[in-house]
A and B are shown apart, each in its own frame.
Chain A
Amino acid sequence: MRLINEARTRLALMARSWGQNLLRTHLARQVAWLMAVAAGWEALARASVYPPILFPRLSDVLATLVTEMRTGEILARTGWSLGTICTGVALAVAISIAAAGIALGIRPLRPLVDALLNVLHPLPGIAVLPIFLLWFGTGAPAVLAVVVFSCIWPMVQNLLAGLEAVPRTQIEVGRNLGLRRARLILFVLIPASLPYALAGLRLAWARGWQTAVAGEMVFGAGGGDGGLGWFIYKRRFFLEIPAVFAGMLMIIIIGILVEHVVFGTLERLTVRRWGMSRAE
């Protein structure tokens, strides 16, 4: 009997400390605050302080999100946007690697790459959309071009910074082992600069995603095509405000998934495992 009581006390203590730990973690606190904000939103909307057409209930938004997923409309739009941005980032990565290679491999061209970087990096992708519409035609190619444009510069900047930050000792160990040019780059420079490359990819993705959604709103789409930006824009036109919010929620969900699942996993398998980047 005493033993059982003791076990019970211990269990209760464990449960309490577990609960406290859960509350103490940063993530748990963030989730708690988000729930509070969501509850505030719902309460404010239910109080009808603002016209429901402009400020829908969160429950309506969530219901619309579920409906839109069932009909497939929002998923098709999300797929379109993801296709654009994945193609855009892939193209940007290829171009950035070439640009970084040229900047470091051909000495006289280094100032050119630096100059382009300094001049064009501050220019938001969306600002070049009007001229890209004239050059590439209204439609997917123009948005793709804008996404590529906005992804290249943070990527190039990080690749160059990463390659220059490789410790001289590591390069010399490689040279000592008889590695030259291609093998030195492949086996030493690229892995050694991976933390910077991944940070660049993260930035490129974030910028590309923003630009893709903004671009889709500006140029619209022909027929039944178009991405999430177009979805939001179209629904606003018909004053289907819960759907507008549902579109935004979708963007947030994709953002969180990519940030934590895709990049988080990528970093855990590489730079964090190797101690090249401090764990969060």
Chain B
Amino acid sequence: MAVFLNHHQRREGAEPLLAVNSLYKRFPSPRGGGELTVLAGVELTVYRGEFLSIIGRSGCGKTTLLRCIAGFEKPSRGSLLIEGREITGPGIDRMMVFQETDQLFLWLTVLGNVEFALQAAGVPRRERRARAVHYLEMVGLERFLEYYPHQLSGGMKQRVAIARALSVAPRMLLMDEPFAALDAMTRNVLQQELLRLWQETKITIIFVTHNIQEAIIQSDRILVLRPLLPANGANTPCGAADNGSQRPLSSIAALIENTLPRPRRPDMPGFGAIWRQLNLLIGHDGEARTEPEDEAEAVAESAAEPAGAIVLDGKAT
């Protein structure tokens, strides 16, 4: 059910939408002096209409990668191309949905928030209302059009944010742990709603999460990132990626094809196998798994599962 993939491996009948080419992102070190490498050697192709999750331990650069795609961060090296054009800044073709529930404009109503986005996108005034109402109906908020954000629950606020992002008809939806601040029940409901929206609109979604179950239930492919920093927090020397002794240092631990049939449930056959693989790749023991033999172990273990797995991890193949 789970298949490890080469990052640029061509998918059957799929049309590439976004290409991330040898992306590096470094930030000035917070302790002063030197730089902190957050992302290294990220290679990725995202296909039109797919649901891709990015997963990994905190601090491994999931959000940074998403923010680079959104255009909020400039790559230190490498490039990002959407439909062949280089990403130079934020744009309406890549709409971000944030984790924070303060992403709505508090001074605008639910309807006003969506209409504002449409206005910014240049939609003529007379078309805005109908279009805003349409997207708010899609997320089930047609009875709350005139409410202000402070009158909504956390889950409703995230629904508005999703409707607002979808309303401007972006190429892709970038979601940064959008349900992480919600309770488990609301989270499950919104996961199902998001899947329904994804199937209805055929939009491409890149979804950052640290929740393995969420990633398996939702995505076609799962990108597992690993932290570049050792557990003690010492910095990886800049350029380590170029002169690493054993093999290139990359943020990508694995890219997994999730072939479980939809709709997915945690108690379905094969779910546990993927869950265990991901858990191992993420490094549940608190250590970054950068040693090749760790991955070999993971392969051996997953091969023993009835689900089966093929490993084609990155440049190691």
Residues of A within 8 A of B (CB): 167, 169-170, 172-179, 183, 187-188, 191-192, 194, 270, 273-276
> Is the CB–CB distance between B103 and A177 below 8 Å?
no
Q: A178-B92, A178-B120, A187-B116 are in contact. Are A173 and B150 (CB under 8 A)?
A: no
17 residue pairs A–B, Cβ–Cβ below 8 Å: A170-B102, A172-B72, A173-B98, A173-B103, A175-B72, A176-B92, A176-B95, A177-B120, A178-B90, A178-B121, A188-B105, A191-B105, A192-B106, A192-B107, A194-B107, A275-B151, A276-B107
A192 vs B149: C-alpha distance in the bound complex, in angstroms? Answer: 13
Residues of A within 8 A of B98 (CB): 169, 172-173
* Chain A, Cβ-Cβ closest to B117: A177
> Is the CB–CB distance between A176 and B105 below 8 Å?
no
CB of B69, distance to nearest CB on chain A (Å): 12
A276 vs B102: C-alpha distance in the bound complex, in angstroms? Answer: 11
Give the contacting residue for B102; candidates A169, A176, A177, A274; CB below 8 A.
A169
Is B223 part of the binding interface, using a Cβ–Cβ cutoff of 8 Å? no
> Is the CB–CB distance between B148 and A273 below 8 Å?
yes
> Is the CB–CB distance between A177 and B121 below 8 Å?
yes
Residues of A within 8 A of B94 (CB): 176
> Is the CB–CB distance between B150 and A169 below 8 Å?
no
Most B CB contacts (10 A, CB to CB) among A170, A183, A270 go to A170
Is B100 part of the binding interface, using a Cβ–Cβ cutoff of 8 Å? yes
Is B269 part of the binding interface, using a Cβ–Cβ cutoff of 8 Å? no
0 or 1 for each of B55-95: is its CB under 8 Å from A? (1 = yes): 00000000000000010100000000000000001111011
Is B168 part of the binding interface, using a Cβ–Cβ cutoff of 8 Å? yes
> Is the CB–CB distance between B121 and A170 below 8 Å?
no
A213 vs B72: C-alpha distance in the bound complex, in angstroms? Answer: 51
> Is the CB–CB distance between B100 and A274 below 8 Å?
no
Is B96 part of the binding interface, using a Cβ–Cβ cutoff of 8 Å? yes
Residues of B within 8 A of A191 (CB): 105, 107
> Is the CB–CB distance between A274 and B95 below 8 Å?
no
CB of B89, distance to nearest CB on chain A (Å): 8
Please report the number of residue pairs spanning A and B whose Cβ atoms sit closer than 8 angstroms: 65
A179 vs B89: C-alpha distance in the bound complex, in angstroms? Answer: 12
* Chain B, Cβ-Cβ closest to A177: B120
> Is the CB–CB distance between A274 and B150 below 8 Å?
yes
Residues of A within 8 A of B100 (CB): 167, 169
A67 vs B70: C-alpha distance in the bound complex, in angstroms? Answer: 70
Q: A169-B98, A177-B121 are in contact. Are A275 and B149 (CB under 8 A)?
A: yes
A194 vs B120: C-alpha distance in the bound complex, in angstroms? Answer: 21
> Is the CB–CB distance between B91 and A276 below 8 Å?
no
Residues of B within 8 A of A276 (CB): 106-107, 150
* Chain B, Cβ-Cβ closest to A272: B150
* Chain B, Cβ-Cβ closest to A191: B107
Residues of A within 8 A of B120 (CB): 174, 177-179, 183, 187
Known: A176-B91, A178-B92, A191-B105. 19 other contacts (CB 8 A): A169-B100, A169-B102, A169-B103, A170-B103, A173-B96, A173-B103, A175-B72, A175-B89, A176-B70, A176-B90, A176-B95, A177-B117, A178-B90, A178-B120, A188-B105, A274-B107, A275-B106, A276-B106, A276-B150
* Chain B, Cβ-Cβ closest to A184: B120
Residues of A within 8 A of B92 (CB): 176-178
CB of A115, distance to nearest CB on chain B (Å): 25
CB of B111, distance to nearest CB on chain A (Å): 14
Q: Which of B228-243 contact A (CB under 8 A)?
A: none
Most A CB contacts (10 A, CB to CB) among B106, B117, B168 go to B106
Most B CB contacts (10 A, CB to CB) among A172, A177, A188, A192 go to A177
Residues of B within 8 A of A183 (CB): 120
